Amino acid sequence: MNKKEILKKLSAAEFALWDLHLYLDTHPGDLTAVGLYNKYHKKYMLLREEYEATCGKLSPRSAQGVEWLKDPWPWEKGWCDC
Amino acid sequence: MFMYEKKLQYPVKIATPNAKLAQVIITQFGGPDGELGASMRYLSQRFAMPWGELKGLLTDIGTEELSHIEMVCAVVYQLTRNLSIDEIKRQGFDKYFVDHTTGIYPVAASGEPWTAATIQSTGDVIADLSEDLAAEQKARKTYDNILRLSDDPDVNDVIRFLRAREIVHFQRFGEGLRFVTDKLDCKNYYACNPGFDKNCGC
């Protein structure tokens, strides 16, 4: 996968996870949704690892100094191509 | 506690600068139905919520709105890159530029700075959740109007994503309100406020 594809796939997995997370706030007993959440979580963790290795660290817990400060930042034009 | 993730929730990549459009979009940062107000509203209201389902819902949607602030600001930032003074004047951006240059400032399209006067935190669970339902529809309306005013496909792609999120949040808040009324007095759920009164409900 090139950088653009990784970003797209990571964002899609993250979006699915987040939407299920919100759904589970009001439907905490829905086990089908819990199952889907766990399925997407595995995908997400793999993609996150791949993204961080290719495009740079996502969290201030995983990078400091030079590595954290690397351009471009998400609002800048080059970011989508990471 | 909040921590930053160095990515946008949905990518923003605007090819053509357009300061006139930026002045319309910025209202979803600092305007009366914008993302800053949404986030501050939910993150303030959550302290009055008596049940985990509602504390979670307001925390999570309030946090997602922070990501939407970042996306709206990214759109405005990219729409106002590399403008000449002549373009700034021609596109009516001079009134913003004189105070803020091309910095990002929370302001409505009318020029009114962001104000907490457009949000409420009543400490009343039903009143707050009802306001939240209205807030999501008001934000959806603003995105509809932006789509009526903009013909930039790069901008509209982002705006459509944000618009869809308002609808999802409206749905979740509706379920939250239903959750409260199910818990309260079966004959009259306005009889007490579970955010303040003790032993409130059936």
Q: Which residues contact A44 (CB under 8 A, 6 or more apart)?
A: A10, A13, A14, A17
Interface confidence, given as ipTM, is 0.96
Q: Which of B11, B70, B176 lies closest to A80 in CB terms?
A: B11
How many Cβ atoms sit within 10 Å of the Cβ of residue B68?
A: 24
Q: Which residues of A touch B (CB under 8 A)?
A: 7, 10-11, 14-15, 18-19, 21-23, 25-28, 56-61, 68, 73-75, 77, 79-80
CATH of domain B19-183: 1.20.1260.10
Q: What is the pLDDT of residue B188?
A: 84
Task: Compute the nearest-CA separation of B115 from chain A (Å).
Answer: 25
B105 interfacial to chain A (CB closer than 8 Å): no
**B136-190 pLDDT, tens digit each:** 999 999 999 999 999 999 999 999 999 999 999 999 999 999 999 999 877 788 8
Residue A82's pLDDT band (boundaries 50, 70, 90)? low
Q: pTM value?
A: 0.96
**A10-21 pLDDT, tens digit each:** 999 999 999 999
Cβ–Cβ under 8 Å, residues A61 and B11: no
Give the whole-angstrom CA distance, residue B107 versus residue B75. Answer: 15
Contact B6 A73 (CB under 8 A): yes
Q: Is B54 exposed, middle or buried (0-12, 13-18, 19+ CB in 10 A)?
A: buried
Contact A74 B56 (CB under 8 A): no
Residue to substitute from B7, B14, B104, B132, interface A, most A β-carbons within 10 A: B7
Sorted by where each begins, the domain ranges of chain B are: 19-183
Which residues lie across from B107 on neighbouring strands?
B113
Cβ–Cβ under 8 Å, residues B124 and B46: no
